[in-house]
Structure 1
Amino acid sequence: MENEEHQLGKPFKITNRSREIKKGVVAESLEDLTSKVRSKLNIEENENVTVVLEVDGTEIDDEEYFSTLDSNTSLMILTQSENWVPPSPPCRLNIDQVDDTKGGTELVGLVDRLKSNLCHLSLLGGAELELLSDMDPESLVDITFPDRIFLENLKEASGRYLVEKRQAQDAMDLLRLYQEKENDGGN
């Protein structure tokens, strides 16, 4: 089996810096890998390519180290001046936690919850978004949150989400009216 592996190469999982693209590649050598990666990820021949371990950013720059890698090792392909970045934590949403914010939880509790997981912002209702977009970051900085920039950005993002939610609701209402008009006209 190992002889077959050396003849055919080893399978590797490859990804780009943003981890949005994930592909599989079978390669016999580092040179073979970079050649196949250029094709799979549409990287120009004149563009520099760096291969690193996806898990910790260790650069793989010689055939000797490449040959020690296990099959199915996850590799990240970096181009030009890109640097390895650790994976960002997944956006885990706990619906029960978000539901808890509805029903009058104070602004401080809402901000605290969002500071621990910003993903909840997209699930908030209009009342919570309005509360956040109307908040005074200065008053919260004094109470519990020393990060004024976070509070200012949260206020701005909340305002944008609120506007988008209202626009989406208006569009849905208009569509509903149009559909009702169509249904009434067909009867």
Structure 2
Amino acid sequence: MEKSGDERIGDSFPYKVVDCSREKRFGVVASSLQEFIDKACEKLGITGSVKVVLEQDGTEVDEEEYFNTLERNTSLMILAGNEKWVQQGRNLRVPGDEVDGGRGLGRLLNRLHDDLSHVSLLGGCELELLSDMDPDSLTDIIPDKAFLDQLKEASGRFLSDKRQAQEALDLLKLYHTATVMQEDIAKKNRVSQ
């Protein structure tokens, strides 16, 4: 599939880049695979050797020719070191755990079972995973189904609160930017009078 001229920004095209946890997402404009990698790593704060894959299905993008066939705004994931692509909402990678059909949650579930207050410290990806989990399928890890039901509900509440807080922060940033712009305009108007 050839890219049409109206999608071009100079000699570059826009892409989306995401880290393996899917918590950081940025836009990048690049004209080559290497330029994309350089800009994406800078935005994500990643150094060293990386692999580029399609976020949707984990297909590796390692050739310039294939990169040039991608449509604009394609979402690409940067994997650093020994990170692996995981289907969104599917499995949570916990250091020291093997991820095998959701059983990688075992260590996390056990830690939360010991102290449920740790749920408030989890990131959005982990909270989303817990709020989407099926408690019935995890009773072999934690036999206490009531706990799993409560954990699912609490995770959903914390995830919702976290999203609302992020939206409030985004609105405050917009308000601050607008205020600064208005002050700058007012200063320019005073100077020009």
Q: Between Structure 1 and Structure 2, whose CA radius of gyration is higher?
A: 1
TM-score, structure 1 as length reference: 0.49
